[in-house]
Amino acid sequence: MVVCAAVWSIALSAQADDFAAKRLVNWHQWRGPDATGVAPHGDPPINWDEKTHIKWKTAIPGTGLSTPVIWGDRIFSLTALKTDRQPKTKASEGKAPQSNHQFLILCLDRRTGGILWQRLPCEAVPHEGHAGTSSYANASPVTDGRYVYASFGSRGIYSYDMEGVQQWKADLGKFSIKYAFGEGSSPALYQDTLIVNCDHEQQSFITALDARTGKPKWRVPRDEKSTWNTPLVTEHKGQILVLVNGANRARSYDLANGELIWQYGEKPGVDAIPSPMRINDLAIFISGLRGDPVYAVPLGSSGDLSSTDRLAWRHARGGSQISSAVLLGSRLFFIRGRTGVLTCLDARNGAVIIDQQRLPALNEIYASAVATAGRVYFTSRNGVTVVLDATANEVRILAENHLDATISASPAIVGREIFIRGEKNLYCIAH
């Protein structure tokens, strides 16, 4: 048994080293290689429209806000397709639909946009509805280049290999979301552990699953109601931390056992949606229905951080409601609420670089910004993407691009391509 354990440990270490090298040239998870919204080796076009720099455009069945993830020449995306089939027992909760939905995972060829395979993990009647701007497939999948993991929340968590063969499924129960807005937390992956945050109106919890089997490693209750927050997993001084935002508290857990390491008591905001980020030894939290604060917590903290003097810095206003910030170098870019009003801070100390300046042509912003090559790309629901010079100390617009699409999903960048998912199509925009 000792020999087997040693062999497994060596194999896992080799896989981790290989993954660490390859992730930087892929977009394997929500918010990209380092969960900052940045593609470190990217250089996609600055200008495009429906007739310019469109490498391919592929219709995606059903609806979903799931950001695609990319590994090599494969793209993975989730969607939910309404059928005409009626359930045996009528749904009755709130805005719940009255027909079966197919919950699908798609694998596309990055070179052509063709669908390589499509799988149906689940067909069911959703037990509650979702907001008009939402969907039943909001979470982004995550992959390590060997397997892809997909969360449909109340419809289960699923693992497939790269050829579409199901490895396992896990049922975490049904979640009751505030106002039936819909579920949205994406799973996070660290080596052989999958972390899923399950905040809802009843008994919220965060859980770690064995990525090889889907079996639970630990499960910890959370004093939270509905949030849509995706955890950030990061290493600090030999300890692996799981950082999670919340409507009540921001928290750090130990990946090994789920033990709570620290929590900060100031409410981040009603809508705890934007993902945590890290710079140096600081964890950054941002959230705000009405432009609530943005702040940084030292990663080496412990216990209950009950006052702002335990923070590294705090910016009092302008936080995002839905979209996550983007961290390019030491510059933290975010918009106020869902508007096109931009703030840029020095993430190391909270110093203001750009203070709430409006970006023209953008209306409601649900998609999170992405960045690369000294540029930041902001996309709004009206199909407009504004490209900014990220090195300027003022709003300097490089391009204003238009697509005939309603866009709520966040873009992804790999190499010289940017992938944008509209309500009906997935675009590959390339040089």
Which pLDDT score, from 0 to 100, does residue 94 have? Answer: 46
What pLDDT band is residue 6 in, cutting at 50, 70 and 90? low
What is the per-residue pLDDT across 253-311, written as a single tens digit (0 to 9) for each? 999 999 999 999 765 456 788 999 999 999 999 876 665 789 999 999 999 997 788 99
Cα–Cα nearest to 171, from 122, 227, 118, 106: 122
Which pLDDT score, from 0 to 100, does residue 86 have? Answer: 73
Q: Which residue has the higher pLDDT, 314 or 317?
A: 314
Question: Domain coordinates of the chain in residue numbers?
Answer: 2-430
d(CA 88, CA 82): 16
Which pLDDT score, from 0 to 100, does residue 13 have? Answer: 60
Which pLDDT score, from 0 to 100, does residue 89 have? Answer: 54
Which residue type sits at 71? W
Mean of pLDDT over the chain: 91
Least confident span in 26-35, 133-142, 252-261: 133-142
Joined tokens for residue 286: 């941002």
- By DSSP bridging, strand 232-236 and strand 250-254 are unpaired
What percent of the chain is modeled with pLDDT above 70?
92
What pLDDT band is residue 87 in, cutting at 50, 70 and 90? low
Q: For the chain, first and last CA: distance in Å?
A: 53
What is the per-residue pLDDT across 323-354, written as a single tens digit (0 to 9) for each? 999 999 999 999 998 999 999 999 999 999 99
Which pLDDT score, from 0 to 100, does residue 216 have? Answer: 98
Which pLDDT score, from 0 to 100, does residue 3 have? Answer: 57
What pLDDT band is residue 68 in, cutting at 50, 70 and 90? very high
Which pLDDT score, from 0 to 100, does residue 93 have? Answer: 46
Q: How many CB atoms lie within 10 A of CB 332?
A: 25
Q: Counting Cβ atoms within 10 Å, is residue 148 exposed (0-12), middle (13-18) or buried (19+)?
A: buried
The model's pTM is 0.93
Cα–Cα nearest to 161, from 63, 71, 232, 233: 71
Q: Which residue has the higher pLDDT, 327 or 131?
A: 327
pLDDT above 70 for 92: no
Least confident span in 57-66, 282-291, 316-325, 354-363: 282-291
d(CA 429, CA 57): 9
What percent of the chain is modeled with pLDDT above 90?
74
Tokens 């062999």 belong to 7
What is the per-residue pLDDT across 205-236, written as a single tens digit (0 to 9) for each? 999 999 999 999 999 999 998 888 999 999 99
d(CA 253, CA 237): 14
Domain 2-430 class in CATH = mainly beta
- Phi/psi for 10 (5° steps) reads -65, -45
For residue 409, the Cα-to-chain-centroid distance in whole angstroms is 10
